[in-house]
Amino acid sequence: MAHVAEAHAHDAHGHDDQHHDHHELGFWRKWVFSTDHKLIGIQYLTTGLAFLLFGFGLMMVMRWSIAHGAAALPEWCGSFLHSIFGDAVFDKVVNSETKAVTGYSLSTQGYNVFGAMHGTIMVFFGIVPVAFAGFANFVMPLQLGAIDMTFPRLNMASFWSFFISCVIMVWSFFVEGSAAKSGWTNYPPLAGVADTGPALHPVMNGGTLWLIGMVFNITSSLLGAVNFITTFIQLRAPGMTWGRIPFFCWAQFITAYLLLLAFPPLESAAIMNLFDRVFGSSFFMPTGLMVNGLGFDGQPLQFSGGGSPVLWQHLFWFLAHPEVYVLILPGIGMVAEIIACNTRKPLWGYKAMVGAIFTLAFLSFIVWAHHMYMTGMGPKVAAFFQTTTIIISIPSVILLTALLLSLWGGSIRFNVPMLFATAFLPMFGIGGLTGIPLAFNAVDLYLHDTYYIIAHFHYIIAPGTIFAIFAGVYHWFPKATGRMMSETLGKLHFWGSLVSMNFLFMPMFFQGMGGVHRRWWDGGAGAYSATVGPWLDWNLKISYAAWALGAVQMIFVFNFFWSIFRGRKVPNDNPWDATTLEWDTPSPPPHGNFIKPITVYRGPYEYSVPGADKDFTPQSEPPAGTPAAVPGHAAVPAHA
């Protein structure tokens, strides 16, 4: 009786989840609506990289406006851009005598549109999908020895929610009035009134679509974060104790926690802003607000009042501060892996680094108002946030120092991933250290909203995280495709990017200290030349560096696609001679990832172990002299 019942239960298990393994999948289930983490990771990566390019393109047009003001764009792009984006964004440049249209220039409103969307796209549609969702999806289950993520269907749902948000954001460029224009930070009261009015649709306008797109994006990140945390805790291979987990996975785990807890207040703020725009409520509209050109001039705006614009700032920055750590931690994780692999020695201070990211994550929730020093904060609250902000610099410095010390005494091979990873260190150092003065509100009083801030955060994200992303792409490309990317093109890409990025962002520190403000459509040449005049020459030079940087990225794009088809095939599954578990799979890994059950016997960075016969020992290699342990005992049961 009992045996029959048990046998019955056994059969039944096969029919529950993942039953699709038993039969061949059609094209759509295999290549589009896949639940396999590797494909979902690639979907996030490619979408994210495309958006990075798009956001970068927006900025290149903005740099023309900064350098040349209202002068017409070059012919080869002016009318083309105007035909795509329309009159809301591009003005016609008219010859005053002949009245003929000689070209198109970015209008002032267009500059605001491109500026707001550049920020939004790069942060939420570029870096987070690539560095977090893309790489973590592809690499983390492999590094943990898992066959997939804990909730594969939820993973797929997260990607498609993200995709919907991408469609909405792109669509917002093509509605009346074009896309959101109140900054990536979307401060009210402007955020409540921009893109509203009799000529505009109540919902299909840039500002409202931005909010709806953000809600989908946030939902996607939240569901993804649940998946990553459960995978990290539950699906580690047998023998993978906490101290044997590669630092990349720790970094992604903490990033997932930051997203999980910090994103929802922004979602609630976005819902409140949607209420304000669609239902006319006054969550963020203060009493007695008057806006020129809206409502009757001199009359208060048509809102009930009683709202608080500063509430939006609190809720936004409650997310956006942990968000900046979301932007950097996956990068640090990738750089750590690549440095260990290419110095042929273990990471220095692995435990300190893990402790540092825990501390960083905790503190990041109580520092947000250092973005709000200009909102009229009194001494008590300002002192609190200055103190916590200074304290949070300590874990960041620990991370950077540990990575630097990891280079010491290493036998370094400067392949392309290592070039990017090594350059990351001083670049992130510059970005991080220039942030320390900003922790003090007395300094921030002067530097807030100037180009100093732009240089500070771009140094961290651009030659920081984006270099880490490039390093990750070059490093894991062979695993994902079975081919190597071209070293020569990679080195050209690296040096071109490094030089142009520094020419692009370094002068901005000095411009900022000289008083050049953010978000000036003409770089200050019009109204402010008297105060910042000496710095305006730099605008054109910086723009040249930006355009050069854009040109150099074409090398990467070409290399990426060319290598998929014509790249040199990998000599074996582990071309970098790395120790972590993802290199124990075929390149590219099949569905189910591992062709034999995996047990972990050692730590993740067993490089150059004295007395060993090779300079690296994979994590899954049994200790010398013992037979391979019989898999499946303490392990993954065959059925749950």
Partner 1 sequence: MSDPHSSAPAAESQAHASTDHGHGSYLLHARPYFMVGAALFIFTGITVALSYVDFDHLFNSHGMNIKIGMAVATFKVCLVGAWFMHLKQEKGTIWRPLLFTFFFCLGLFLLCLLAYTDPIQTTSHPLH
Partner 2 sequence: MEIPYTVRPRPDTGLANPKLGIWLFIASEVMLFGGLFAGYIFMRLGAEPWMWPHGWLNVPVGTFNTFVLIASSVTIILSWEALKMRNYKAYKVWLALTWICGLLFLAVKLSYEWPAKFNHFGAYIKKEAAEKYEPFLGNEGPDGRLFRGLAPRLFISGHLTHQHSGESKAEFKAREHKAWADLKDPSVKTIQIDALDEENGNNPKSPEHDRAHFIPRDTVHMHEPVILQKSDLIYGYGPFYPKLNTYLACYFMITGLHGLHVLGGCIVFIYFWLNIKGGSLLYHTNHPQLCNRIEVAGLFWHLVDLVWIFVFPIFYLL
Residues that bind partner 1 (CB under 8 A): 1-2, 5, 233, 257, 261, 265, 310-311, 314, 318, 362, 365-366, 369, 372, 375-381, 384
Residues 399 and 353: beta-carbon distance below 8 Å: yes
175 contact, one of partner 2, partner 1, none, CB 5-8 Å limit per kind = none
Q: Select the binding partner of residue 369 from partner 2, partner 1, none (C-beta < 5 to 8 A, by kind).
A: partner 1
Candidates 103, 67, 39, 128; CA nearest to 481 is 39
518 binds, among partner 1, partner 2, none (CB under 5 to 8 A by kind): none
Please report the beta strands in 50-203, taking only residues with DSSP state E, as ranges in sequence order.
90-94, 101-106
Does 226 help bind partner 2 (rule: CB under 8 A)?
yes
**Residue 6 contacts partner 2 per CB under 8 A:** no
Q: Which one among 252, 255, 281, 415 touches partner 2, defined by CB under 8 A?
A: 281
Q: Which is nearer to partner 2, 178 or 227 (CB)?
A: 227
Determine the Cα–Cα distance for residues 139 and 144; give it in Å rounded to an integer.
9
What CA–CA distances, in Å, run from 4 to 1, 8, 11, 637? 5, 6, 11, 21
When asked if residue 298 is in the footprint of partner 2 (CB under 8 A), the reply is no
Q: Structure tokens of 244? A: 């044997």
Residue placing its CB nearer to partner 1 in the complex, 2 or 530: 2
For 486, phi then psi, to 5°, come to -65, 125
Out of 45, 147, 360, 532, the residue judged to bind partner 2 by CB under 8 A: 147
User: Is residue 324 near partner 2 by the rule CB under 8 A?
Assistant: no
Residue 545 parent element (H or E): helix 537-566
What is residue 41's DSSP assignment?
A: H
401 contributes a contact to partner 2 by CB under 8 A: no
Q: How far is the CB of 280 from partner 2 (least distance, A)?
A: 4
Check residue 5 for interaction with partner 2 (CB under 8 A).
no
Query: How far apart, in whole angstroms, are the C-alpha atoms of residue 46 and residue 162?
Result: 13
The phi, psi pair for 309, rounded to 5°, reads -60, -30
Which of the listed partners (partner 2, partner 1, none) does 366 bind, with a CB threshold of 5 to 8 Å by partner kind?
partner 1
The CB-of-12 to partner 2 minimum distance in angstroms stands at 4
Say whether residue 457 binds partner 2 (CB under 8 A): no
302 binds, among partner 1, partner 2, none (CB under 5 to 8 A by kind): partner 2
Residue 22: how many CB atoms within 10 A of its CB? Answer: 8
List C-alpha distances in Å: 78 to 91, 321, 554.
Answer: 10, 37, 20
- Number of C-alpha atoms within 13 angstroms, CB side, residue 560? 17
Q: Give every CB contact of residue 3 below 8 A, 6+ residues apart in sequence.
A: none
**Taking CB under 8 A as the rule, does residue 418 contact partner 2?**
no
State which of residues 6, 13, 290, 568 lies at the interface with partner 2 (CB under 8 A).
13
- The H-or-E segment that residue 62 falls in is helix 37-68
230 binds, among partner 2, partner 1, none (CB under 5 to 8 A by kind): partner 2
Among 111, 216, 283, 560, binds partner 2 (CB under 8 A): 283
- State yes or no: residue 136 binds partner 2 (CB under 8 A): no
> By C-beta, is 228 or 467 nearer to partner 2?
228
CB half-sphere exposure, 502, CA atoms < 13 A: 11
Length of the chain equals 640
CA angle 186–192–198, rounded 5-degree value: 130
> Of 65, 282, 481, 500, which lies in the binding site for partner 2, with binding defined by CB under 8 A?
282
Compute the distance between CA of residue 38 and CA of residue 138 in angstroms, rounded to an integer: 5
Is residue 411 within 8 A of residue 340, CB to CB? The reply is no
Give 241 or 387: the residue with its C-beta nearer to partner 2.
241
Residues 152-211 that bind partner 2 (CB under 8 A): 152, 154
* Residue (90 or 228) nearer to partner 2, CB: 228
Cβ proximity to partner 2: between 69 and 597 the closer is: 597
Please count the other Cβ atoms lying within 10 Å of the Cβ belonging to residue 426.
13
Find residue 90's DSSP bridge partners: 106
- 188-204 as b/e, with b when 16 or more CB fall inside 10 Å? bbbbbbbbbeeebeeeb
Tell whether residue 314 is a contact of partner 2 (CB under 8 A).
yes
105 scored as a contact of partner 2 (CB under 8 A): no
By three-state DSSP, how is residue 517 classified?
strand
x/- track of binding to partner 2 for residues 591-630 (CB under 8 A) = xx--------------------------------------
Q: How far is the CB of 377 from partner 1 (least distance, A)?
A: 6
Q: Which parts of this chain interact with partner 2 (CB under 8 A)?
A: 9, 12-13, 15-18, 21, 147-148, 150-152, 154, 222, 225-227, 229-230, 233-235, 260-269, 271-272, 275, 279-283, 300, 302-304, 306-308, 310-311, 314-315, 318, 591-592, 634, 636-637, 639-640
